[in-house]
Structures are given as structure tokens and as C-alpha cells.
A and B are shown apart, each in its own frame.
Chain A
Amino acid sequence: MENLLQIKNLTVHYNMETSVVEAVNDISLDIKRGETLGLVGETGAGKTTTALAIMGLLQKARAEIISGEIFLNGESLLDKSAKAMQKIRGDKVSMIFQDPMTALNPVLTVGEQIAEVVRLHEKCSRAEAAARAKEMLETVGIPSYRYKEYPHQFSGGMKQRVVIAIALACSPDLLIADEPTTALDVTIQAQVLELMKEQIQKRDMSVIMITHDLGVVAEICDKCAVMYAGEIVEYGTVEDVLDYPTHPYTRNLLNSLPSIDGEIKKLQPIEGAVSDPTNLPPYCSFQNRCKECMERCTEGNPKLVEVAPGHWSKCFQHYKESEAEK
């Protein structure tokens, strides 16, 4: 399978007034056509920044792409003009945002907001766009007669369905879903997830599923990348990463989850806090919380090492003797 999206050595910093936030540090990712990648990590790990960089929606005033390249279908996105990016956004790549309560414009009807994206990317009349929008509403499980209603007339779950309808309206090649279920309550989460799963399978598109919910990853993803302090620390198939985690952070993360059939004991949190993103150490940034920390962990920053075919981990534990000497 060919790569739909390639991210090479992407580094993004936010220039704040007195400091620089190192949000994304030298990450590389490939996403194949039809593949669903789960991007996992805690708040501030750089997941959303990565997504916004792909969309070309980083805040111009603050964010700066220090280095790296992003290719979609072999075309470099970072070299494209603002106008060319407008043609790609919503059409080739679209995004579902985290909070459905604020993601919809309160003064426009939901139908109008779906029809807007159709009219932008497909040469069609107002009536055709409206018809398409109604079709999309039905697709996401909202009766089409609600076309003329406003976001405040919808519940959170329904709003997220509308946001999904907007994102899917032009059948994008790549869908970026930024914590699409985080702001919803659990039963609604399950419904929305089910809807997304169904649509992903039907449309055969590539998806980046940003989440901190490992359950979501297990449910719908093919691959999984774990991010920590702006870096990818482990990458592989969902089975590899969830069943055979090799990076200490991933292991800790999985340990901290309650098990449904295990004995009920206290939850095991990961001790400590994430390194300050304005002041990351020149060595492994997980070192201060790592129980398996070795002497060399403070000597340098390890690279991703292929621990098994297609399964990568960024830890000195996996360095073979030969590499260690390098």
C-alpha cells in the first residue's frame, strides 16, 4: 500500500512572550491509504499541534514550523500557498474537533454549515449543496428536516454528528479526528464512535484518530503512535503496541488503566509530571518519571529503534550493544 500522508522530521515550536514551547519535536509518521492511525498521548504531548500542522491551521502569530516536511499524495503541503491549502482543507483533508459545543457557528443553521463545505469544493448549485447536506445529515443519523435548525437546538452528541457530517461531506482522503469523543458522555461516546467506525470502513479513507483513550484506539485503529513531550515514543500496529508494549511510558500507561476482569485494586498512576515543554532536557524526556531509568538515559536522547518488524520504540533498553557504542 502506498503512503497517503508522510510526515518527515516535523518540529513545531510556539514562540510565547518569554519562552519557547517545544510542542512537536522531530516526529516522522507514515499513513497508508485506508489506514487508521491512533495518535495517543496525554494533554500537551503535541497531538493537536501535529494535526493542525497537517491542516495548515497553526496560529500564524505564535506557531513556527522549525523543520520538517509533510507530504499528502506525494505533494508537499508546507510549500503550498494559502490559496492552494484552502482547496485541500475540507476536501482532501478534513478535521473533526474536540469540543462539539463550540465547533459549530451558533448563528448559522446546521444545514447551511454542511452545505457550505460542499459548495466550496464541489461545483454545484445552492440547491444541490442543500440536498447533499440533507443526505449527510441522514448519513450521520439526524433526520433531514432538522436542516434549518441552529446548533443550540441540538444536544452535544448531535452536534458532534453534525461536525462529522461537515468533515465527511466532501469524502476526504484523510480525516483527522481530534479527540472526537472526549467532550461527550459515555453512552453518546459509544454511539459516535460506532458512527465513525462505520463511515471509516464504508469510505475507505485514512484516519488519524487523536485520543488519550486507549479503548478508542483498540476499537477502531490499525496502527498506533504514542506521543510523549512532543515525540513519538512508540509506534506499531495496535496489537503490537497494546499487547506487547516495549516503551516504559506505554507500559506505564497501560498499567494505569483499570482492568475489567482483573482484581480491583488502586489505580496505578504514572508518578511525576510531564517535563516542562518550554524547557525540555537534552536527553530522554521521560527519564524523570521512568522506573526503568538507566545511567545512560541522561546522557542522550534515544532514537526510535525497530524492536520487531514494524514495531518501533524510543528507548535505550532496545539499543543493541553495537548501537550503544555508537
Chain B
Amino acid sequence: MLRYIIKRVLMMIPVIFGVVTIVFFITAITPGDPAAQILGPSSTEAQRAELREELGLNRPILVQYGSYLKNLVLKGDLGTSYIRKAPIAKEIAERFPTTFKLACYSMILAIVIGVPIGILSALRRYSWIDIASMSFSLVGVSIPNFWFALLLILVFSVKIGWLPAIGISSPAGWILPVIATSVASLAQIARTTRSSVLETMNMDYIRTARAKGQKESVVVFKHMLKNAVIPILTVCGLMFGMTLGGQVLIESIFAIPGLGKYMVDAIMSNDYPCVQSSVLYLSVVFSVVSLIIDLLYAAVDPRVRAQFKSGKPKKIKATAKA
């Protein structure tokens, strides 16, 4: 198992390298002059040239790339923001806990509510519970979360006045952003849980469990859910990675100092080092989350575990069907 983890961590290196390289060259060929952006429209060409010189932007692109990689790999230096002149590593580290908390809270909410809803709809298929919860989740998947966030503010902050509209200085301030962030994941998790449980509930081994005289609740939670959990984990991982990547609109609406807004600001202001570092951050986040999800697969499914031990990880879906 440890060998597998080490292998996966090593495999992350080429992935991240690839991402870093592609993003570096894309930002480099993007039209727009960072110097003009920084100095503003009233600057003279001489001032801009001076700044370009200072930032090293007039060097050949391969040289820029080389020095960027050198700093990144040897010093772990993500560079300095063009605009704020602050080290980017520090800026990301400052914002990460907020984004991480938002992602965790909304994920927990989505799982705690989404999974039971999914199970219930599957067990009571075509009942009013099923129809109601699946309509709800269809709406949940479809509505834009910023619109939903505004709606929440309108109802709970403006009309009823229970919760603060912006800021996360108090625990109550987290409630609306967490709900707004989780609604899409919640709906997606509920739908996935439903279809996965539906697929599992007609399996022969469920009949075997019933033939043993097992209680229905145990049949559902021990026999069904443990088998249905892999697709649910996949969706959870994807959703978690996405929220960790930052919720630009939610962060803007609720004035949360998170990474989503940070990245968009960086892109808008042509702050190349910031953009590159943000994408680097995203690729690391997705790699780590997918590693964790793969390890969770192994924790629930002995067949996946067996593959890890034999060192030949195959596609999980294929083996689950076999």
C-alpha cells in the first residue's frame, strides 16, 4: 500500500510539470502587457520598458521559463505578485484555510444530506419522496450557485434578518456561503447515490443477505451501501476538488477572502506569476484529492485493494462490473 502511495505521489510530478509548462506558455503568449496593466494608462512607454526590464519580461521566453522553473524547483519559490509585490506562496497560504474550510463544510453538508436522500429515493423508487427529492436535486444541479446565494441573502438576511449577508467573522456568517456552495454537490451526490443504490439493490448478494434473514436496515447499510459507495466517492472527490479550487462568485458575493477570487483577480490584472501559481495550486489540489479518493476506494473495496497490492491499478469500473 505504501509503495502504491509513493508511486502515485511520484506520478503527480509529471502531471504538475506538464500543467505548469502549458500554463506558463499560454500566459506568455496571451495578448496584453503586464507592465501597462501595472502602471496604468497614464504611464509612458519608457516607464513601461523599464518595468519590463525589471520584471525580466523582455528576456527570451525560454529563458524566462528556465528561471521560473529553477526558482520553483530549487527554492520552492512561487514568485512575487506583479501588482502587490508580495510573495505569492504567502498570499496563497493566507487564503487557503478559508477556502479549505468552505470546501470542507459544504462537502460535509452535501454528504450528510445528499447520501440519505439518495438512499431513500432509491428504496422508495417512484414514490412521492423519490419524485420530490429528485426534482429538488434536478433544480439543485441546474441553478447557478451565485443566483441561489443572492436568493439566500434576500430571504435570510434582508427579509428575515436572521443571518449576516456578508463576511465570515462570526460562525453564523458561514451558514449562507456553505449552503450556497453545497447545493450543487448535494444534488449531484443525491442523484449519484440514488442510481448507485438502485443498481446495487437488485444484485444477487442482496437477495442472499435477505435469504439469511437479515434485517432490512442492515441489508441496506451493510450490504448495499458498501457496494454502492464507489461512484458516490468519485462524485464527492470531484466536487471537493472543485470547491477547493475556489468559488469565485460565492466568494465575491459574501466577501470571503478565498482563493477563487484571488485567481480571477490575478487573471484580470495579467499578474502572470499569480496565475501560474494558482494553476499550480489547482493541479496539486486535484492530484491530492484524486489520490485520497483512490485510497478510499481501496479502503471500501477489497478488489481494488488487491490490484494495488499486485501493483497493477486498473480501471475501477471495469473490475467492479466483472
A-side residues, CB < 8 A to B, are: 55, 57, 61, 82, 85-91, 94-95, 97, 99, 102-109, 113, 116-117, 120-121, 150, 152-153, 163, 166
Contacts and interface: CB of A to CB of B under 8 A. Distances in A.
Interface string B179-219: 00000000000000000000000011101111111111000
Given A152-B302, A152-B303, A152-B306, A105 B213 contact: no
A117 B211 CA distance: 9
A116 B208 CA distance: 11
A105 B211 contact: no
A109 B212 CA distance: 16
27 contacts: A55-B211, A57-B211, A61-B125, A85-B213, A86-B213, A89-B210, A90-B214, A95-B211, A97-B204, A97-B211, A102-B203, A102-B205, A103-B207, A104-B205, A104-B208, A107-B226, A107-B300, A116-B212, A116-B214, A117-B212, A150-B302, A150-B303, A150-B306, A152-B306, A153-B306, A163-B208, A166-B212
A99 B301 CA distance: 21
Contacts of B269: none
Most A CB contacts (10 A, CB to CB) among B204, B208, B211, B302 go to B211
Contacts of B213: 85-91, 117, 120-121
Most A CB contacts (10 A, CB to CB) among B209, B213, B302, B303 go to B213
B227 interface: yes
Majority SS at the chain B contact face: helix
The 4 residue pairs across chains A and B that have the minimum distance between CB atoms: A90-B213, A89-B213, A90-B212, A102-B204
A121 B212 CA distance: 9
A99 B209 CA distance: 14
Contacts of A113: 208
Given A102-B204, A121-B213, A152-B306, 13 more contacts: A57-B207, A57-B210, A57-B211, A86-B213, A89-B211, A90-B213, A97-B204, A97-B207, A99-B204, A102-B205, A105-B209, A106-B303, A116-B214
Interface residues of B, number: 23
B207 A106 contact: no
Interface string B290-308: 0000000000111100100
Contacts of A108: 222-223, 226
Nearest to A117: B212
Contacts of A55: 211
Contacts of A89: 210-213
